Amino acid sequence: VILVSFKESVIPLMMPVIIFGGIFSGIFTATEAASVATVYAFIVSVFVYREIKGKDIVRILIDTL
């Protein structure tokens, strides 16, 4: 049970690693880290978990604007 839960949580848990790793290693600033995290979350939501569909993307962009 624990291994299954860990396996399912590896992809979402990579976001803090990307953010903090990028900032502390000097690869990007905090603002750039936010952008990278947003792109990562989008890719994971669309391609890995398939929670966001094509028609949802347009609505999300309109709401954001």
pLDDT of residue 20: 96
Residue with tokens 């990307």: 18
Q: How confident is the model at residue 1 (pLDDT cuts 50, 70, 90)?
A: confident
Residue 8's pLDDT band, with cuts at 50, 70 and 90, is confident
- What tens digit of pLDDT does each residue of 23-62 get? 999 999 999 999 999 999 999 999 999 999 989 999 999 9
pLDDT of residue 46: 93
Are the C-beta atoms of residues 9 and 49 closer than 8 Å to each other?
no
What is the Cα–Cα distance from 51 to 65, expressed in whole angstroms? 21
**Rg, Å, the chain Cα set:** 14
